[in-house]
Structure formats: C-alpha cells, structure tokens
Amino acid sequence: MDTNKDRHIPFNWPNMTGKELHYIAEAHFNGRLAGDGPFTKRCHTWLETRTQCAKALLTHSCTAALEMAALLLDIEPGDEVIMPSYTFVSTANAFVLRGAVPVFVDVRDDTLNIDEQLIESAITPRTRAIVPVHYAGVACEMDTIMAIAARHGLKVVEDAAQGVMATYKGRALGSIGDLGAYSFHETKNVISGEGGSLLVNDPQLTPRAEIIREKGTDRSRFFRGEVDKYTWQEVGSSFLPGELMAAFLWAQFEEADKITQQRIVSWNRYHALLESFEAKGVLRRPIVPSECQHNAHMYYVLLSPEVNRQAVLDDFRRNDIASVFHYVPLHSSPAGQKYGRAQGDLSVTDSVSERLVRLPLWVGLTEAQQDKVANTLSRSLKLNE
C-alpha cells in the first residue's frame, strides 16, 4: 500500500487495530457468515455495557438504523419530524422514506447543534418526533430536549452517528432518547467500512426492533427457541450486517478507548496551535460545553465572515493538505425544499455552512503534519504580515 502520507496529508485515514483480519479469519473458520453470529453478539454486549442502552442491534449503516427508527415509531405520511438543517442527508431521508415532513430548525452558534430554544415553536399537531444530531460528537442540550418531548408527547431519536464514545452528563450519546443511531462508517472514529447500530432505550420497543431488522419476521425469537417457527409479523427489511463485518468491528471495539484517546490528543493539539488565531479574530475554534465529553470526531474552524474560505481551501490543496467543508444545509438542497419545511430563517445554519473548514484528523496524524496544517493556515490568513 502506498500511503504517501509524508508529502500528502489526507483528510481521513482509516485506522486499523491489526486484529481485524484475525477475527475475520475466525468468523470464516467458524463457518458462520450470516448475521447475528458470535461476533455480532459480542458487539451487542459491548455496546449495551458501554452505553447502558436496553438493546443494541448492529445494522449495515447508521442510515439503516435511522430507517429502522422511523419504522419502529410508526411514522406515517404527513407526520412532522423536527431536526437541524445542518446535518447529513440520512437524518432526513429516513423519515421522508415513510412520507414524513422534515421540519428544519436552526442550530446554536456555539456547538452547531439544534437550538433547543427553537424547537417548541416548530411543534404542530402533526409533530411526532425530534431528531437531535450530536454534531462532531458534542452532545445536544438533551435535558431540555427530553423535557420538551415529554411535555408534547413526542419521541426522540438521537442521530449519534458521530457520537460513539462521547457522553452528555456522563451518559453515552445515543442512550438518552427513545432510540439512538451510531455509525461505523470508515470516516467515523470506530469503523467497519460501512456499519452502524440502533440503540433501543425504551425496552418496550425491543421486540419490534428485532422483527423489523429481520425482514419483518420473528426469526430472532425462533433462534432463541421462543417460538417453533418464524413468520412474517410486520413491515421490515434486512437491516443486519453479516458476521465478517461484525468480526472487523469487534477488533475496533477492543481498541475504542485507545482510538478515542489518540484522537483527543490530536484534537487538543490543534486547539492549542490555533488559540492565537482565534485571539487575532480570524477564526473561532470549536466550543465544547462542560457537561459534554466529546470524542474528537472532528476538528473544525469557523472562519470569520471577511475571510475568503475558497482561498483557504485552495491554499491547503496547493500544500498537499486535504481539508473539506460541509454541509450544504438540507433546507436549501433540492430534496430538502421538495420534502421539508424550514422553521424560521436558519441564519446560523446558512452562515456556518459558508464558513466552516474541517482539518485532517485521524489516528497516526503526526505533530509535524499538524504543524504544517497550522502554518499553512497562518500563511493563508496572512497572520505574520
């Protein structure tokens, strides 16, 4: 493999622990390749122990886990689901697939998470659920969101795609709402290429979650010997990954603490390197509220409005540094306009999406590489002139 990481600094580099192929070989020799074998069970137990959720179920992506959540909550055509516009498309797609209308609410200008103060004004008689997205692994203001949901009889689905190993007031992200969804996509912290998990926190939802994940059948109960044959029970699909993916993921779970710790070291180093940039007013660094323990999923900077972001991105590219920006706000995307509704003017979302730059962050990123990123940014922003 030609990594070429010395000259070129990639934006992301999938981290392997070294045990992945060993466990895949073990699954291969076990002769058990379909889902819900021994490695899947180990992963479920690990997730349940770590997050204290009632039931964890591996899926083939976070997208799939969100689609399961929409099915589980019986989301129907015309139902409304409140979510930020500043998020990945899967947050909205999962509910639009059931015919629901995503109602986009603006984000807070500190954490870039859904502004909990704006949620109540978006509630109508058709509202069924709130979907907080824990951006960059920094928790949304969950106590407030859960209180609003309780007052209005709404369900809460946490899009914790970026939140594996992060906590809010000591509780794992994804374990606070009725349901939570994790991603193990290659671009996240703990990975299996594609992969995800649904966290079921309301134990009453567990039996149906198992049915929906197994093509709408009670096959899970059949395998446990609770029924003598399995049949079609309700609408479902095939949401479970095969054992090879679970075997890969198990190797990552074993090292999840180490992976998180290493990322946090790099995150903290960027934060120290860029302190003087913030003091000069050219950018602002991420803000993490004290009740949130983040997982260093992402290091971003918000450039000041007078800075030309494209020029900064061009300077990075000329220096062989891969940096990216996101998101095109969902409320201004073609599908968002067709299927969704914006609540208010979403001015923070629009502003952030034009000013945010994500810096390379992965396990193995060296101090020299981080220095190069900071120096390139300094030259681009003409801080020494």
Ligand X SMILES: *Cc1c(COP(=O)(O)O)cnc(C)c1O
Q: Between the CA of residue 134 and those of 142, 163, 176, 262, 356, what are the distances in Å?
A: 10, 6, 12, 21, 17
Judged by CB under 6 A, does residue 87 bind ligand X?
yes
Hunting for tokens 């299927």 — which residue is that?
Answer: 339
Judged by CB under 6 A, does residue 293 bind ligand X?
no
Which of 183, 217, 252, 295 touches ligand X by CB under 6 A?
183
Which of 15, 90, 323, 380 touches ligand X by CB under 6 A?
90
Q: Distance from first CA to last CA of the chain, Å, rounded?
A: 41
Edge-first strand listing for the sheet containing 55-59: 55-59, 196-200, 179-183, 155-159, 127-130, 80-84, 101-105, 341-342
Hunting for tokens 């179920």 — which residue is that?
Answer: 57
Stretch that binds ligand X, among 58-66, 117-125, 262-270, 362-370 (CB under 6 A): 58-66
**Closest to ligand X by CB, 88 or 250:** 88
Q: Using the 8-state DSSP alphabet, how is residue 348 labeled?
A: H
Alpha-carbon distance of 287 to 299, in angstroms, equals: 11
Judged by CB under 6 A, does residue 91 bind ligand X?
yes
**Closest to ligand X by CB, 185 or 355:** 185
**Closest to ligand X by CB, 218 or 242:** 242
Judged by CB under 6 A, does residue 185 bind ligand X?
yes
Edge-first strand listing for the sheet containing 167-168: 171-172, 167-168, 292-293
Stretch that binds ligand X, among 41-49, 60-68, 230-238, 278-286 (CB under 6 A): 60-68
Stretch that binds ligand X, among 57-65, 72-80, 219-227, 360-368 (CB under 6 A): 57-65
Alpha-carbon distance of 74 to 233, in angstroms, equals: 15
Question: Which positions from 124 through 153 interact with ligand X, judged by CB under 6 A?
Answer: 133
382 is catalytic: no
Judged by CB under 6 A, does residue 196 bind ligand X?
yes
As measured in angstroms, the least distance from the Cβ of 87 to ligand X is 5
Judged by CB under 6 A, does residue 63 bind ligand X?
yes
As measured in angstroms, the least distance from the Cβ of 188 to ligand X is 6
As measured in angstroms, the least distance from the Cβ of 115 to ligand X is 16
Binding mask 215-254 for ligand X (x = CB under 6 A): ----------------------------------------
As measured in angstroms, the least distance from the Cβ of 43 to ligand X is 15
**Closest to ligand X by CB, 309 or 326:** 326
* Count of positions on this chain that bind ligand X (CB under 6 A): 14
Closest CA to 298 of 327, 318, 320: 327
Residue 263 near residue 295, CB atoms below 8 Å? yes
As measured in angstroms, the least distance from the Cβ of 184 to ligand X is 7
Alpha-carbon distance of 265 to 246, in angstroms, equals: 28
**Closest to ligand X by CB, 24 or 64:** 64
- Non-local CB neighbours of 231 within 8 Å, separated by 6+ positions: 217, 218
DSSP 45-98: HHHHHHH--SEEEEES-HHHHHHHHHHHTT--TT-EEEEESSS-HHHHHHHHTT
Judged by CB under 6 A, does residue 61 bind ligand X?
yes
Q: What is the b/e burial string over 291-302, where b = at least 16 CB atoms within 10 angstroms of the residue's CB? A: ebbbbbbbbbbb
Residue 300's beta-bridge partner residues?
358
- Which stretches of the chain bind ligand X, using CB under 6 A? 61-63, 87-88, 90-91, 133, 159, 161-162, 183, 185, 196
Catalytic positions are 188
